[in-house]
């Protein structure tokens, strides 16, 4: 029962986050903006439309949206939501979590390449590069949590909530910062990518889904929401475990991350493509620094 409640809250968060991002951007720009749940209306419209496939598209292209959504949804099953436990839990599930997200990305990359489009091929190459650079940051983040608690399962990691020393709040706060950056990279938001752009030569994620329409495109949108919710919940659980580990705090921290992404998109311009690799490597470097800081704090090593 706890796992079902946790999964329900995670899906609820996934449906809220795009609305929070859009509303934050509208407020920052002094606009009224679209309706809060406009993204749900858009997906509902797509689900009512049929799919059109290119003659060069094969079974990989047709299966990729379902694989992407299925892999991301399965990753949600491994996450607790505050005091509500995960639906699935076993030793080493922190590694499975990272590679389930990678599976969804790999399916989309292969689908883009199968179309034979040069534009989608460029987007797939960029996505593969960004994914390879960002994946160590996610693994280091999970590794930091495992190091601090001595567990390799998310359920057991967060079961020790409240027993962490006060100085670990610094580590958890930095994990939250890294998670916001990872969400930006993984979901193709500004400054790494712009989901609203129409210039194929500068697209990353959006160019890979150019040939999708109807229900297939709807599945990809939902998969993106679930991925953002998974990463936000992971970081929110980490921070909440250091001071107030309950579902309401986790939900508030996760929505705060969505608001932070909206602020970033309002205040920053998109990076030049040549700078994106450096930007993502900086995230990985920060994740490594957080890992080492957690090690030093745990060992009570004094420097100087």
Predicted TM-score (pTM) of the model is 0.93
CB atoms within 10 A of CB 2: 14
Domain ranges of the chain: 2-299
pLDDT at 201: 66
Q: At which residue do the structure tokens 């890979």 appear?
A: 208
Candidate from 167-176, 257-266, 292-301 with smallest mean pLDDT:
292-301
**CA-CA distances (angstroms) from residue 252 to 176, 244, 246, 262?**
13, 11, 10, 15
> pLDDT category, 62, cuts 50, 70, 90?
very high
Query: In the structure encoding, which two tokens stand for residue 35, read together?
Result: 């309706």
pLDDT at 207: 83
Candidate from 12-16, 92-96, 105-109, 199-203 with smallest mean pLDDT:
199-203
d(C-alpha 65, C-alpha 52), whole Å: 14
d(C-alpha 236, C-alpha 82), whole Å: 9
Chain center to CA of 253: 15
DSSP 84: B
CB 160 within 8 A of CB 194: no
Q: Residues 130-173: pLDDT tens digits?
A: 999 999 999 999 999 999 888 999 999 988 776 777 788 889 99
CB 237 within 8 A of CB 81: yes
pLDDT at 304: 55
Beta carbons within 8 Å of 263's beta carbon, 6+ residues apart:
24, 28
Query: In the structure encoding, which two tokens stand for residue 250, read together?
Result: 């986790």
pLDDT, the chain, mean = 90
Whether 47 has a pLDDT exceeding 90, the answer reads: yes
Q: What is the DSSP string of 220-274?
A: HHHHHHHHHHHHHHHHHHHHHTTT--SHHHHHHHHHHHHHHHHHHHHH-PPPPHH
């Amino acid at each position: 029962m706890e796992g079902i409640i946790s999964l329900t809250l995670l899906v609820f968060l996934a449906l809220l986050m795009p609305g929070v991002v859009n509303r934050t951007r509208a407020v920052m720009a002094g606009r009224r903006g679209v309706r809060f749940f406009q993204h749900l209306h858009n997906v509902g419209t797509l689900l009512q439309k049929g799919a059109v496939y290119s003659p060069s598209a094969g079974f990989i292209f047709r299966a990729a949206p379902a694989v992407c959504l299925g892999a991301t949804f399965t990753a949600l099953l491994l996450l607790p939501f505050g005091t509500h436990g995960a639906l699935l839990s076993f030793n080493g599930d922190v590694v499975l979590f990272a590679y389930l997200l990678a599976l969804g990305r790999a399916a989309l990359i292969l689908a883009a390449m199968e179309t034979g489009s040069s534009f989608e091929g460029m987007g797939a190459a960029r996505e593969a590069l960004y994914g390879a650079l960002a994946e160590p940051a996610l693994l280091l983040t999970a590794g930091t949590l495992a190091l601090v608690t001595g567990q390799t399962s998310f359920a057991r990691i967060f079961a020790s909530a409240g027993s962490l020393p006060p100085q670990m709040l610094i580590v958890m706060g930095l994990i939250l910062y890294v998670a916001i950056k990872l969400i930006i990279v993984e979901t193709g938001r500004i400054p790494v990518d712009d989901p609203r752009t129409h210039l194929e030569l500068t697209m990353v994620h959006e160019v890979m889904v150019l040939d999708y329409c109807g229900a297939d495109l709807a599945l990809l949108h939902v998969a993106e929401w679930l991925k953002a919710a998974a990463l936000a919940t992971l970081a929110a659980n980490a921070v909440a475990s250091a001071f107030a580990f309950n579902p309401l705090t986790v939900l508030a921290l996760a929505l705060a991350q969505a608001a932070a992404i909206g602020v970033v998109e309002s205040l920053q311009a998109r990076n030049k493509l040549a700078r994106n690799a450096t930007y993502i490597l900086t995230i990985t470097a920060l994740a490594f620094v957080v890992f080492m800081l957690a090690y030093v704090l745990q060992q009570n090593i004094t420097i100087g």
